[in-house]
Amino acid sequence: MRAIRNFALLLALLAPTAFADGLYSVEMIIFRQAGDPIPASQPAPDDWAAGSQSIAGSERGTALDGEAAKLNPNAGYEVLLHKAWSQDLSAIPSKVSLTSGEQQLGHFPVEGTLALAIDRSIDVQADFWINRFDGSGLISTSERLHQGSRLKNGELTFLDHGNLGILIRVSPL
């Protein structure tokens, strides 16, 4: 009897982790609030995407278009990036690279990585650079958005970082 109770307890502890792995839909909006940009002490590094995979080939249609439409200049916001993709998640963090805008000398106006891992909740680590370029295509200034958080499955979450923000939703497929 004791062996059955111990086995049941072991299954109860392991089951949430075992069933958490799989394919998820991820959608993210990066936006700027009205106000002066807060420059980073250093510009975006050349190896900003190190250790990540591109989302090319896994992009999906966006579903948060209504929320993105509310983040307009009349309301004091500017959407910098809005993307959706599918991604395999497990307890081991998987990192993807995201960009927006035209590439100039190896950099984009918005570039960065998003690392996701799932166990009992979804852990997210965002590291993005918002770059401005001079006339010769070199980065003149950068803003950095570096934020980590825990998300609830399927819930739209706001991550605040000075005058930059992220709306993110991660849901199982």
How does residue 77 score in pLDDT terms, banded at 50, 70 and 90? very high
Tell me the range of 12-16, 43-47, 49-53 where mean pLDDT is highest. Answer: 49-53
User: What does the pLDDT read at residue 20?
Assistant: 59
| All residues at 6 or more sequence positions from 140 whose CB lies less than 8 Å from its CB, including other chains | 132, 133, 134
pLDDT greater than 80 at residue 12: no
Top pLDDT among 34 and 144 is at 144
pLDDT greater than 80 at residue 87: yes
User: What does the pLDDT read at residue 13?
Assistant: 46
User: What does the pLDDT read at residue 15?
Assistant: 44
57 and 49 Cβ atoms separated by less than 8 Å: no
User: What does the pLDDT read at residue 105?
Assistant: 93
How does residue 162 score in pLDDT terms, banded at 50, 70 and 90? confident
User: What does the pLDDT read at residue 2?
Assistant: 54
User: What does the pLDDT read at residue 40?
Assistant: 76
In this predicted model, what pLDDT tens digit does every residue of 121-134 receive, in sequence order? 999 999 999 999 99
Average pLDDT, the chain: 88
| All residues at 6 or more sequence positions from 80 whose CB lies less than 8 Å from its CB, including other chains | 30, 31, 32, 100, 109, 110, 130, 164
Top pLDDT among 64 and 162 is at 64
Work out the percent of the chain whose per-residue pLDDT is above 70: 88
In this predicted model, what pLDDT tens digit does every residue of 13-40 receive, in sequence order? 444 444 458 999 999 999 999 877 777 7
What number is the average pLDDT over the span 148-157?
94
The β-bridge relationship of strands 110-118 and 94-100 is antiparallel
- Assigned token pair, 129: 């650079």
